[in-house]
Amino acid sequence: MKTNNWEYGGIYKDFDMEGVITLPNDSKVKVCDLTKELPSFMLEADTLFIDPPCSTGNLRSFHTKADQILPYTFSEFEESLFGRIMEIKPKYLFLEVFKSNKDAFLKHCKDLYQSVETYNSFYYNSRSKPCWILHCTNETENRRYEALEDIDEAKAIAWLCTNHEYNCIGDLCMGRGLVGQNAYMNGKKFVGTELNKKRLAILVDFINKNPTRQFGRSKGRYEIKPDFDKPLEDFKEYQ
């Protein structure tokens, strides 16, 4: 059953959302189910930031909004997610977790990486809604960023895409594309997958309407103008 609330303004009707979608800076995204497919371009990511579903109910909600019936258990999704991370082998993994999945996902991360740091964070721009960001790596540098401690998760994404050293950042659960948006505004390459074409189309639309020339360069990086606080809050759909 479809509702207008799940149409996201019908933006997806303006774009061909089939197959690999190529965007500026050789960035690529694709609508697909990560449990069934990992596009080869995802292997280009040396850094991942993922905000995955955190519970069965959350996972079912994403499928419902994509006009799909949830075909697997949360445990099966969890195993697939970390299997894909193992295939990509990113130098840095940033994983957003909640109370319901923190312990299990933390264990997976510690099995894969020598260094796992945990940042206190929150969402809806409200400290009463806590979450955590796991920072995982086997590298000897950049094992912790003090700037990420105790800030809203949307601002953490913006900070990482602006300040973390990466050639290509990826996201296996792109949603509306907050990671892609911030990488794009910094003139950097990104790759990603998303279950719901209606949500991913919002990122494609944003890029089409906002050529990178509107962002000024400072010390080799793009400056986000105006300040990112308001645009990010408008851009991201929180769950």
At residue 30, the 3 state secondary structure works out as strand
Residue type, 150: D
Distance CA 78, CA 58 (A): 13
For residues 183-219, one letter each, b for 16 or more C-beta atoms within 10 angstroms of the residue's C-beta and e for the rest, the string is bbbbebbbbbbbbbbbbbbbbbbbbeeeeeeebeeee
Distance CA 227, CA 234 (A): 13
Triad 32, 7, 61: Cα angle to 5°: 60
Place of tokens 């929180």: 238
Q: pLDDT 10s digit of each residue in the chain, 239 long? A: 444 679 999 999 999 999 999 999 999 999 999 999 999 999 999 999 999 999 999 999 999 999 999 999 999 999 999 999 999 999 999 999 999 999 999 999 999 999 999 999 999 899 999 999 999 999 999 999 999 999 999 999 999 999 999 999 999 999 999 999 999 999 999 999 999 999 999 999 999 999 865 554 444 443 444 333 333 333 333 23
Range of the domain at 193: 4-235
Q: What is the predicted pLDDT for the residue at 164?
A: 98
Are 195 and 63 within 8 A, CB to CB? yes
Stated pTM of the model: 0.89
pLDDT single digits (tens) 112-156: 999 999 999 999 899 999 999 999 999 999 999 999 999 999 999
Distance CA 58, CA 74 (A): 9
Distance CA 121, CA 123 (A): 7
Q: What is the predicted pLDDT for the residue at 66?
A: 97
Q: What is the CATH number of the domain that holds 188?
A: 3.40.50.150
Q: What is the predicted pLDDT for the residue at 211?
A: 82
pLDDT single digits (tens) 178-188: 999 999 999 99
Domains contained in the chain, number: 1
Triad 133, 193, 160: Cα angle to 5°: 35
Q: What is the predicted pLDDT for the residue at 5?
A: 74
Tokens of 55: 């519970």
Tokens of 99: 């109370």
